[in-house]
Structure 1
Amino acid sequence: MQDAGEASTSVRTPMADPFPSLGEPASAAPAPSKPQREARPDVSSEDAFPTLGASSAQVPRAAPTAWVSPVPVIQRVIHQATISLRLSEEQLAKLNTVLPKVQARCPTVKIEASTTRKTGYTTFIIKGANEAAVQLAKKELTVQLARRVTTAVLVPASLRAHVIGAGGKHIKSITEQTGVRIHVPPRSAEAADEAVGDPLLGEQMEITIEGDEIHVDEAQALIQAIVAERTSKISQRLSHIEPEFYPFLGGARAEALAASEGRGEVMIKVPQQRNAPILVQGERASVAAVVDAMEAQVRDMRASFQTLSLTIPKRQHAFLVGNNAADILAATQCHIELPPVHDVSEVVTIRGPQTQLPLALTAALERANAVTIKVVDLGALHPQADAQHAQHLVQWLGPRTPRMDGVQVFLPAATALQTGRAHVEVVGESAEDVARVHRELEQLVRAVGPDAVRVATIDPLAHEWVAGKRGQHLKTYEGRGVDVLVPPEDSGRSDILLVHRGAPAERDAALETVLRDVVAAAAPAADLQTAHISIPAQYHEAILGPDRTVLNALMGEDRMQVTLGRRSVVPPGLEALTDDSVVVRGAPTAVERVVARLQQMAADAEQDSIDSRFVDELNVPGVYVPRLIGRGGAAVTKLRDELGVRVDFPDADDTSRAKSVPIVLTGRKECVAEAKARLTAQVQRLMDETTVRLRVPSAMHGALIGPGGKYVSRLQDKYGVRILFPRGNDDADEVSVRGGKRGVAEAQAELLELLAYEQERNQAEEMTVPQRAIARILGRSGATINQLRLESGAEIDVEREAGAGGQAVLRLRGARDAIQAARAAVSAIVAEVEREAELHLTIPSQFHAQLIGQGGQRLRDLIVRAGGPTDARAQAQTVRFARDRSDGVVVRADQDVAERIAALLQSEAQVLADRVVHGKVVPPRLHGQMVARGGRPGSPWQQSYGIQLVLPHWREYAELDAPVNAAELGDADPAHIIKVLGSPANVQQVFKDMDMVIANDAQRRRPRPPRAARVDDADDAAA
């Protein structure tokens, strides 16, 4: 086999075919390969630059064959997170303890830290295959090292519910993700519910976030993202646009409306009611663009539009609405404005561009005159009847008017009946159909004269008994030819209309019979009682409750009628109603019960109003007023929310701070008393409050605060004080303790005790060491210095690089005994370095691999033989070979040990240099035996004689020189010649052993001579 060291420096040649054909000799030369460009040496290759402690041997890569496809390379996914923190000196000092702790908790991640002295920021790069582990390590670092901060975020009060989320979902998610504390203030009583409009222009609330600076910023960004998502879409009401322009903004059949919405994700709602504003909803930028476009369109319409008025009979107005009006608008760009249905006016207004008004007028007249109209005059058909009869006819005709496709019947409105215009209009496009419906309608009306109508006055509460269950009584009356019309229940009317449809001869008898039955059905109502009481109108809303729920609860399941104010009809025998009137009608016991409960509720409401107006006053020093109000009025809001008390403070000025000021409390008496007690107790605490300022070195602040503020939070909770550490431009060494005198004194004593303890544990000393000892103190990848830290318990940092004197400065921190132990350990290393001698040897690079040996074992044996260290780490630092293929070798150890190691290395190198190459003819069948004896590392001939065998087909064969005994080899087959590398004497001894192997093989293969034998014939033998 080839030597490992030499193999690493040789140029790779194509490997022989591992599967030769049967007809091809095994030693055939490999096929030539494509020429390769010479690559630059890989300085990170362990083969090219071997080191002690790692094997330089490498398994050669198998040549690819056509039988298999190349194996795909699987790349690992690496997750990475980066954070930058501005750390104080004290935080930098404890960085060496924080990183191992975080690394121990998250063993699957790798953390790299670097500090930029100019900016003061320390950047941490966290890498790992598991993203969750990377995020956990990031969170641990920020909690341990980042500054504790408190920040406030202003968000629209109307978005409070969205920020919190359903069941606190959003806040819980943010706190779990970031580990911060979030305080959301309670909903303000003045804050309007989420309404249509821009939330950014409404009331703002302040959300407080506490935690480390990194996660506070992250939580703030998450909250702002929620707000941005909600405020990116807004709603805007356009109440300043006149309703006359609504049809033009909506466009003909909503075509213009769709075109406006094409500007983005915008929805435009143009109401049908004239008293409602236009609503525009969508993305903020798109809404603004659409609103601007609509306002510009309205300005143009105001400047250019004109109106034209004309009179069109009221009955024809119905044909100027709906699709007809939309068609006119689309064709002429003009809109038809009609008076309300209840208005008797017949004036029609056409609005639009002046040039289009004549066209719109023509279109309107065509639409209005394109129909046939016939009128049924109720008064003319019954001239002897009064106006009341016409109202009865209209009430009776409502559900009984003839119906036909394409024909509409318009009954007169109540206002028209009051003016005597009892006209029923029949309108349609077909004159024949209109005439038919007109005839049927006249026949119906003509048959019902004043003598066919009766009116029964029945208490409204008895109407249900008159109608019967599911209207069964009414159906019975209809079977007798009498229609009984009961007014709606909520109308409060007592008149029931009876109309006979049969022959006049039976009319009076039928009406009288049905009238008696109706009165008999309402007989149970004779015992109903009516009560009229007076309750101030301001309490009516409280009596009704939302959707009359409170009033329904008062009435229970009893059938009753309760009306408030002037809305009800005046019952017979009662005085005129007022705004304070409450009329209760029903069974006597139920009326008595409801009246009593109404009066009690009114009394309670009045007393509650009186109690809620209880006023008290509290005088407090003006200097405490800001503290009583709280940040952003939080304290006052809390009193109002919890106790329902209004707290009024006087206007603050410079003079009021120096004297007592009155605080006015308004509300229920007991609530005012509780609020006054709370404010008084708070004033007492403020009067007892004192502030103590301690001088604490800034380097000790982190130790007093504790990880994540643990220590300072415990002190604040334990003694009820507030401990403030300096920020920004404050005095860097001043710590303030504020609170009650006793609590401040106890907190101060504990702080000073903790400070003394931490100062004892945080002693700092500097130590100068030679620059050349720094590498030994640090160790590979910081292993030595980390070991020193663990063993001594002190922090050891390289404070400054070596100056002109070649001396570096170490900073030692910790308890005094820990510093002493660390100083002693560092001094021992320095003394060891100073005792060391550094010898530089020149040994040809081609011998380095042989001196190192497989896995560095030969070099380790040499060091131990010379009396050097036995520890592998120390041995690696004792002898170092050059990595740049040069001949340099450095030996670093104690003077005598270094000299012995150098002598051994030079001696071994000389032995290697004295080796020569000899050739030996050996049949190929014996090459395997020769390799077993001297061609493998650790084989007998290599161990005994220090020689190396190289076979003809090996890669190193061509690299070795020609044999010195080439003349002796003659014209032997090159495939039979084995090269033997070693000293001449040892080579000759190996040749003898090889000759013996060859002779033994020849002896085994020599054919045996034939033995002498005689064959006698059997017959001869018998003779």
Structure 2
Amino acid sequence: MQDAGEASTPMADPFPSLGEPVSAAPAPSQARREARPDVSSEDAFPTLGASSARGMRAAPTAWVSPVPVIQRVVHQATVSLRLSDEQLAKLNTVLPRVQAKCPTVKLEASTTRKTGYTTFIFKGANEAAVQLAKKELTVQLARRVTGTVLVPASLRAHVIGAGGKNIKRITEQTGVRIHVPPRSGDAAAEEADDPLLGEQMEITIEGDEVHVQEAQALIQAIVAERTSKLSQSLAHIEPEYYPFLAGVRGARVEALAANEGRGEVTIKVPPPHHRHAPILVHGERASVGAVVDAIESQVRDMRASFHTLSLTIPKRQHVCLVGDGAADILAATQCSVELPPVHDASESVTIRGPQAQLPLALTAALERANAITVKVVDVGALHAGADAQHARYLVQWLGGRAPRAEGVQVFMPTATALDAGRAHVDVVGKDAEAVARVHRELEELVRPLDPSALRVADLDPLAHDLVAGKRGQNLKAYEARGVDVLVPPEHSGRSDVLLVHRGAAAERAAVLEAVLQELAAAAAPAADLQTAHVSIPAKHHAALLDRTVLNALMGEDRIQVTAGRHGPVPAGVDARTNDSVVVRGAPAAVERVVARLQQMAADAEQDSMESSFVDELRVPGAYVPRLIGRGGAAVAKLRDELGVRVDFPDADDKARAKQVPIVLTGRKACVTEAKARLAAQVQRLADETTVRLRVPSEMHGALIGPGGKYVSRLQDKYGVRIVFPRGDEAQAGDEVSVRGGKRGVAEAQAELLELLAYEQERSQAEELAVPQRAVARILGRSGATINQLRLESGAEIDVEREAGAGEQAVLRLRGSRAAIEAARAAILDLVAAVEREAELQLDIPSRFHAQLIGQGGQHLRDLIVRAGGPSEPRAQAQMVRFARDRSDAVTVRAEQGVAQRIAELLQSEARALAERVVHGAVVPPRLHGQLVARGGRRNSPWQQEHGVQIVLPNWREYAELEAPANATDLVDADPAHIVKVLGGRESVPQVLQAIDALVAADAQRRRPRAPRAARVDDADDDE
């Protein structure tokens, strides 16, 4: 019995399903406050002689008001294992062990005798706990196996992931061991155009059979994701059409990707400064093909309809015709503006587009070009008496000192212009006043610097760091004195150091002379440097004078090494040639570097002589493409493995019909090996044959296998090449070619046909129409029934969702003929059972629903059995459904006769519940325990005999019952003593009499015998 102060447990669901038992969730434990016991409490210290029922928590009853049900997320995992008799015997110990380790996970197991598989279902609120329970079970029961999965070698890096990320994730998730073979030496062969048809590698997986299969599926998913993608380069499209393909600010290429590409591709059109690069299209295979076709179609139309117009615009005004300027012209006129490169002095501008739009584009280009102001500072003209070198020096000095203004750009002349004697500095901007101001400031900077303001000091390049000082401190000191010292860039080899005096002309000569002397003094430590001029064949310069090689040779010494005809020629050094190598630095270091360079050159020459052995092999011209390999892969393999150069003759249709020479160059032993390999390959090609098989296109995927597994195994096993048709080839859609040696082709053909027959037998398909109302029965709760059908029949069963709105639903069955027939028979049995069913709608007041269901649904189950229905909970599920919205609707669904009897029993009991009455009886609290069943259960002793229920004052249902019909007789009674009696009109009076007799007997038993002549007063029962 439950105390009034104890919190009662809310019902989890007022209308539970009959498919599984329902239990209320336990109430959380609460800390109780310590208090002194009340010795006067009859409940705490009952009178001896009366049984005291032990308090217990209240179970859900008819008077519990329903509370909102919180739907919790339930994670589920399923494992099916074929267990041996020994393993089945272990289940009794394994399952409790797993349940103890994962107490929050519900574990169910069922065995199908027909298939021999045991299915384990894991359910829990925490996905990690569900997966842990699954792993614990499979580790203890599943067989240890070693599985393999074939993946394209070109996808090796993607399978492993960055830093092994993918393999680590799969290993942690499944607990298996994964071995990925090392990369093969044939890197070029791995980079096949189509990964599925390229070289394959075998990944080994060790662990229990369930997680090995899971790891295989995860790896195949990575492969499937990668092989569904394709990248294509469109190098044959002229860059002149790039602006039209990209559209205004990329709008056209975005529309192309969204429409023809269906959002599955990425299109990269090179920007104007990278026009030499090709257009790249990457994405899903089918979408890439559609986008490429659309681009090529647009280019063909443009080639046929576009014209050009040329005009001359000053070079510095070209800046207005790039970026937003070019985009605006393209948007307004559908024409592009093509400009020469920045380093090109040409001022020619080409406009390209439709003939009718060219005049509009010309007008727009001129308006934009004339919208800016260009002023030119002619440095040479400001000092007409000076030579061209003076102007060059001034331009060099101006490079980092030109004035700046917002919206104004200053362009220095290019080296080409300086060589031509045009030392023009251009000032460009939209604001004419700002341009004029910057132009004026430039002239003011240059005009005072006549030839007397400049000096050139010839200092050894190795002494430049000594002149500049640490972090340029010496140069800053010279600037403070009005002299700018310009040191040539490092590694340029130039010895000219430019001095520019910015001060007064009167002191110019003295200041410059003093600075020159200081520079010479700073460079004095480099005076003892030595220069060596050696001759090393130019063919070895690239290898010997590589920056990393030079760093290794020079070490910490400051040494300058230059090669070739061009470069500084120190005094006393012979004129340079193409083979010249000039080394300058400290004498000991120069001697050491020269010796090492000469030794390395001698070694390289010796190696070149040894590697110059030449041999020739004549082969049929038709075999040349096969000997070269896809993308030159075969030749690259010979070069990488043997260091042999292989030269093939130029492709010629006539040469294919005759013998052609192949020239091999390298070390003799390597050339001999390469020739033997090529000869062996030619012999294999001579024995080669090609067989074409007719295979329905819908069967290609089954023959290829997941990730190319089946076709790769056949190719490796028989040494053949199996080619399936692709959309971009002339091969027929249902034609599969097998190429290789005659014996290998024959064996591969036989196995392919056998596999085709097997897959065709397994790929039988049939559609079955069933009534729409039978679909729910076929699917079962959470798909349990249809999964069982699939497992028992071996057929795939799918429900066509599109047909769900009509009276008929369509089921698609796939598998072998026997499996389809078994599934069809089982489904028709279920349909027949549904057809025999009747669905009755009853109107029963919702206040009676809980009593009709009973605690945990037991009363309703008993009622179904009494009506002739099944006794199994799974079969009883969904036979009777009570509305969950507090309405009075009740649905009965079962076979015709059973449904009718269930409805009659429900209505009969509902009428009985409606005719109940409530009376009160005065019973002292010490006797309350005797009114309920032994152990505190709420069924009274009169429940079975009279159908009468006793409700005690401290029960929650007490307050929910109406007032007793005899309330006027209970006015003077203590409310804690009033017990409510609920039942039929005829039965309640009988129970009331029995209760009164029980109370009277207790009172008589408690009355003590009084001595003679003594007066006895009745004590208050409460004392």
Instruction: Give the TM-score, by structure 2 length.
Output: 0.51
Distance 1:759 1:148 in 2: 25
Contact 2:619/2:662 (CA < 8 Å) preserved in 1?
A: yes
Distance 1:303 1:640 in 2: 63
Shift of residue 335, structure 1, vs aligned partner: 1.0
Residues 358 and 645 of structure 1, relative CA distance in 2, 3 Å threshold: farther
Q: Which residue of 1 aligns with 2:709?
A: 710
Shift of residue 411, structure 1, vs aligned partner: 10
Q: Which residue of 2 aligns with 1:894?
A: 895
Q: Tell me the SS of whatever aligns to 1:722.
A: strand
The question of 1:808 aligning with 2:958 is answered no
Residues 628 and 334 of structure 1, relative CA distance in 2, 3 Å threshold: same
Contact 2:767/2:813 (CA < 8 Å) preserved in 1?
A: yes
Distance 2:129 2:506 in 1: 79
> Where does 1:31-430 land on structure 2 (aligned, <5 Å)?
46-52=12-18, 53-55=20-22, 128-129=127-128, 212=220, 214-215=222-223, 308=452, 322=469, 324-332=474-482, 334-335=484-485, 350-351=499-500, 361-365=509-513
888-897 or 356-365, which moves further after superposition? 356-365
Residues 969 and 147 of structure 1, relative CA distance in 2, 3 Å threshold: farther
Contact 1:916/1:982 (CA < 8 Å) preserved in 2?
A: yes
> Where does 1:20-39 land on structure 2 (aligned, <5 Å)?
none
Q: Tell me the SS of whatever aligns to 1:964.
A: coil
Distance 2:937 2:780 in 1: 37
Shift of residue 614, structure 1, vs aligned partner: 3.1
The question of 1:632 aligning with 2:603 is answered no
The residue type equivalent to 1:755 in the other structure is L
Shift of residue 610, structure 1, vs aligned partner: 5.7
Shift of residue 820, structure 1, vs aligned partner: 2.0
Distance 2:606 2:650 in 1: 32
Distance 2:443 2:617 in 1: 58
Contact 1:175/1:181 (CA < 8 Å) preserved in 2?
A: no
Percentage of identical aligned residues: 58
Shift of residue 838, structure 1, vs aligned partner: 2.0
Q: Which residue of 1 aligns with 2:992?
A: 991
Q: Tell me the SS of whatever aligns to 1:979.
A: strand
Residues 797 and 546 of structure 1, relative CA distance in 2, 3 Å threshold: closer
The question of 1:748 aligning with 2:755 is answered no
Q: Tell me the SS of whatever aligns to 1:940.
A: coil
Distance 2:5 2:676 in 1: 101
Residues 361 and 304 of structure 1, relative CA distance in 2, 3 Å threshold: closer
Q: Which residue of 2 aligns with 1:564?
A: none
Residues 844 and 704 of structure 1, relative CA distance in 2, 3 Å threshold: same
Contact 2:853/2:859 (CA < 8 Å) preserved in 1?
A: yes
Q: Tell me the SS of whatever aligns to 2:986.
A: helix
> Where does 1:658-673 land on structure 2 (aligned, <5 Å)?
659-673=658-672
Q: Tell me the SS of whatever aligns to 1:883.
A: coil
Distance 1:304 1:134 in 2: 89
Q: Tell me the SS of whatever aligns to 2:877.
A: helix
Shift of residue 757, structure 1, vs aligned partner: 2.0
Shift of residue 869, structure 1, vs aligned partner: 0.7
Shift of residue 724, structure 1, vs aligned partner: 2.9
The question of 1:775 aligning with 2:776 is answered yes
Distance 1:364 1:602 in 2: 46
> Where does 1:454-469 land on structure 2 (aligned, <5 Å)?
none
Contact 1:147/1:213 (CA < 8 Å) preserved in 2?
A: no
List per-residue Cα deviations over 1:859-909 (Å, max 9, x = no partner): 111111222111111111222222222222222222222222222222222
Residues 902 and 314 of structure 1, relative CA distance in 2, 3 Å threshold: closer
Q: Which residue of 1 aligns with 2:680?
A: 681
Distance 1:924 1:796 in 2: 64
List per-residue Cα deviations over 1:660-702 (Å, max 9, x = no partner): 4332222334433322222222233334333333233344334
Shift of residue 135, structure 1, vs aligned partner: 15
Distance 2:392 2:224 in 1: 50
Shift of residue 825, structure 1, vs aligned partner: 1.4
Contact 2:161/2:167 (CA < 8 Å) preserved in 1?
A: no
Distance 1:96 1:657 in 2: 61
Shift of residue 337, structure 1, vs aligned partner: 7.4
Residues 962 and 356 of structure 1, relative CA distance in 2, 3 Å threshold: farther
Distance 1:825 1:831 in 2: 10
Q: Which residue of 2 aligns with 1:840?
A: 841
Distance 1:668 1:541 in 2: 19
Q: Which residue of 1 aligns with 2:886?
A: 885
Q: Which residue of 1 aligns with 2:408?
A: none
Contact 1:336/1:349 (CA < 8 Å) preserved in 2?
A: yes
Contact 1:320/1:364 (CA < 8 Å) preserved in 2?
A: no
Q: Which residue of 2 aligns with 1:701?
A: 700
Q: What is the CA RMSD across the aligned residues, in angstroms?
A: 6.4
Contact 2:704/2:711 (CA < 8 Å) preserved in 1?
A: yes
Q: Which residue of 2 aligns with 1:719?
A: 718
Residues 862 and 366 of structure 1, relative CA distance in 2, 3 Å threshold: same
Shift of residue 982, structure 1, vs aligned partner: 0.3
Residues 98 and 689 of structure 1, relative CA distance in 2, 3 Å threshold: farther
The question of 1:763 aligning with 2:764 is answered yes
Q: Tell me the SS of whatever aligns to 1:736.
A: strand
Shift of residue 923, structure 1, vs aligned partner: 2.7
Q: Tell me the SS of whatever aligns to 1:808.
A: strand
Larger Rg: 1 or 2?
Answer: 1
Instruction: Give the TM-score, by structure 1 length.
Output: 0.51
List per-residue Cα deviations over 1:706-751 (Å, max 9, x = no partner): 4444332221111011223344567554333222222112111111
Q: Which residue of 1 aligns with 2:851?
A: 850
Distance 1:657 1:981 in 2: 107
Name stretches of at least 5 consecutive residues in structure 2 with no aligned partner: 35-69, 84-94, 107-124, 136-146, 171-177, 189-197, 202-218, 232-390, 403-441, 489-494, 547-599, 1015-1023
Distance 1:981 1:79 in 2: 41
Q: Tell me the SS of whatever aligns to 1:993.
A: helix
Q: Which residue of 1 aligns with 2:115?
A: none
Q: Tell me the SS of whatever aligns to 1:908.
A: helix
Distance 2:75 2:813 in 1: 33
Distance 1:412 1:930 in 2: 120
Q: Tell me the SS of whatever aligns to 1:129.
A: helix
The residue type equivalent to 2:724 in the other structure is F
The residue type equivalent to 2:482 in the other structure is T
Distance 2:664 2:105 in 1: 60
Distance 2:936 2:29 in 1: 22
Distance 1:209 1:915 in 2: 81
Q: Tell me the SS of whatever aligns to 1:846.
A: helix
Contact 1:183/1:209 (CA < 8 Å) preserved in 2?
A: no
Residues 409 and 689 of structure 1, relative CA distance in 2, 3 Å threshold: closer
Contact 2:456/2:498 (CA < 8 Å) preserved in 1?
A: no
Distance 2:458 2:853 in 1: 118
Contact 1:149/1:212 (CA < 8 Å) preserved in 2?
A: no
Residues 308 and 899 of structure 1, relative CA distance in 2, 3 Å threshold: same
List per-residue Cα deviations over 1:751-805 (Å, max 9, x = no partner): 1112112222332222222222111111111111111122222222223665797
Q: Tell me the SS of whatever aligns to 1:858.
A: helix
Residues 169 and 710 of structure 1, relative CA distance in 2, 3 Å threshold: closer
Distance 1:359 1:803 in 2: 102
Distance 1:305 1:80 in 2: 85
Count of residues in Structure 1 that have an aligned counterpart in Structure 2: 636
Q: Which residue of 1 aligns with 2:596?
A: none
Distance 2:898 2:523 in 1: 127
Q: Which residue of 2 aligns with 1:910?
A: 911
Which fold has the larger relative contact order, with Cα–Cα distance below 8 Å and residues 6 or more apart in sequence?
A: 2
Contact 2:454/2:501 (CA < 8 Å) preserved in 1?
A: no
Distance 2:186 2:712 in 1: 25
List per-residue Cα deviations over 1:553-605 (Å, max 9, x = no partner): xxxxxxxxxxxxxxxxxxxxxxxxxxxxxxxxxxxxxxxxxxxxxxxx99999
Shift of residue 246, structure 1, vs aligned partner: 14
The residue type equivalent to 2:690 in the other structure is T
